[in-house]
Chains A and B, each alone.
Chain A
Amino acid sequence: MKPAPFEYIAPNNLDEALIAMEVNGFDGKLLAGGQSLIPVMNFRLAQPAVIVDLNGVTELDFIRPNPGGGVTIGALTRQSRLEHDAIVRDRVPLLHATIPFIAHPQIRNRGTIGGSLAHADPAGELPVLSVALQARFKLQRYDKERWVNATDFYQALFMTALEPQEIMTAIEIPPLPPRTGWAFQELARRHGDYAQAGVATLIALDDDGVCTYARLVFLNVGEIPMVATEAAQLLVGERISAESITAVVNHAIQHEIEPTSDVHASADYKRHLAGVLTKRAIRQAANRVTS
């Protein structure tokens, strides 16, 4: 239960960190909050030769409102800061409301938004939210940078578009379209545990209560955040009713998620659970639509 030996590098600014990753990216790991990396190092499931500690790169700890709405968040911003920030609360209420589902207060005091997004755990709340909100990520190397959409970032189980030498430095979350309601639902065996299933939902309704936009992204029922595109499309042009919700839910859980059985629950149970949570989430999101 102790990490294997490694070389420790603690850059003081982003330039130093980018150089450290340019040199060590292939045998090194970036350490942000450490709430996932240190446990796997303690178990020796990960034995990186080099650790590049980002915690001294304080320029990556920020929350900025964007002129057109939405926010840009520095990758090193702690989850507890997001939980208590007024800009996040006002501009990205879905994110604000979901943070308390992440583990426990002590974990959120260290855990960072960028660390969680780059770690890409399919049971992580933040990857699911980033896909639901159509966020994009700034990925920097020493001599170049690029922006990647969250929907393209997640490729397979714990596999992302991040290159070994790259650092995720910022997350841009666009504003929600007008008349859009939001909801996040998950079920964990104990509060703060990894959820057995969960779903983030966005619903937009017109003046007559007809759905003009829907987005459903599932947590921990596939290798990556699972986007139910076809199911969401079934709701567009419909009113929110028991019938329309049932059609959406049935399509999503039968065709657009891929849960696997584990010691706690069968795949069938998780499908059922995802459906129950989706029904609740669609109702809740629709009720949050304001003109």
Chain B
Amino acid sequence: MTLHTVTLIVNGQELSAEAESRLLLSDFIRHTLGLTGTHVGCEHGVCGACTILFDGEPVRSCLMLAVQAHGHIIETVESLGTPDNMHPLQEAFHAAHGLQCGYCTPGFLMTLKPYLEQNPNPTEREIREAISGNLCRCTGYQHIVDAVLLAAQKNHKQENKHQ
């Protein structure tokens, strides 16, 4: 068994750790780095629970090898906010009841963070397209869509205040 040294930037911090070549990036994040906010659902790229940002773009971490993250930047749900200082998306999910069991939520949040930054004013239909790669078995999606619309509105209010 060959071990590879993986050096990468995780949530703004440079880290190095050993990984067997077959270790999935999702398992590396959870078991090696101890960042258990990233959830593992289907492990074949269908559910979206393990979505993280890889060089700023949302990807399925269960469809990448840990060794492939060497020299790259990843962001997980832990980068968003804390219980006392939540990210606007997290606040909106809380306020609009965008989660019940919460298993899928980290994947939704990491899909939506760059999406809202690039599309600050999405329509309901566009939001549904944006989250089409994430499964939720609790909410029926309606409250998640409501949460995204709420987060977008809040962002606009913030911007108007600054102007």
Contacts and interface: CB of A to CB of B under 8 A. Distances in A.
B137 interface: no
Contacts, number: 86
A156 interface: no
Interface string A15-51: 0000000000000000100110011001100000001
Interface residues of B, number: 31
B134 to A, nearest CB: 8
A144 interface: no
Interface string B57-73: 11110111101101000
A291 interface: no
A187 B35 CA distance: 39
Interface of A: 1-8, 10, 31, 34-35, 38-39, 42-43, 51, 53, 55, 80, 100, 103-107, 109-110, 191-192
A31 B51 CA distance: 20
Q: Lowest 3 A-B CB distances belong to which pairs?
A: A104-B133, A8-B21, A39-B44
Contacts of B9: none
A209 to B, nearest CB: 35
Contacts of A51: 21, 65
Given A39-B45, A42-B24, A107 B60 contact: yes
Given A34-B64, A110-B60, A192-B133, A5 B20 contact: yes
Interface in B116-154: 129-130, 132-133
A155 B119 CA distance: 42
Task: Classify the secondary structure of B's interface with A.
Answer: mixed
Interface of B: 1-2, 4, 20-22, 24, 27, 43-45, 48, 51, 54, 57-60, 62-65, 67-68, 70, 111, 115, 129-130, 132-133
A103 B133 CA distance: 8
A145 to B, nearest CB: 27
A157 B135 CA distance: 30
A38 B63 contact: yes
A35 B133 CA distance: 13
B13 to A, nearest CB: 23
B48 A55 contact: no
Contacts of B43: 1, 42
Contacts of B21: 5-8, 51
Contact of A191 (B1, B51, B60, B132): B132
A2 B24 contact: yes
- In this complex, which of A10, A38, A103 has the most chain B Cβ atoms within 10 angstroms of its Cβ? A38
B67 A10 contact: yes
Contacts of B1: 5
A250 B2 CA distance: 58
Given A104-B48, A106-B133, A34 B58 contact: no
Contacts of A2: 22, 24, 27
A106 B57 CA distance: 8
Contacts of A5: 1, 20-22
Nearest to B64: A34
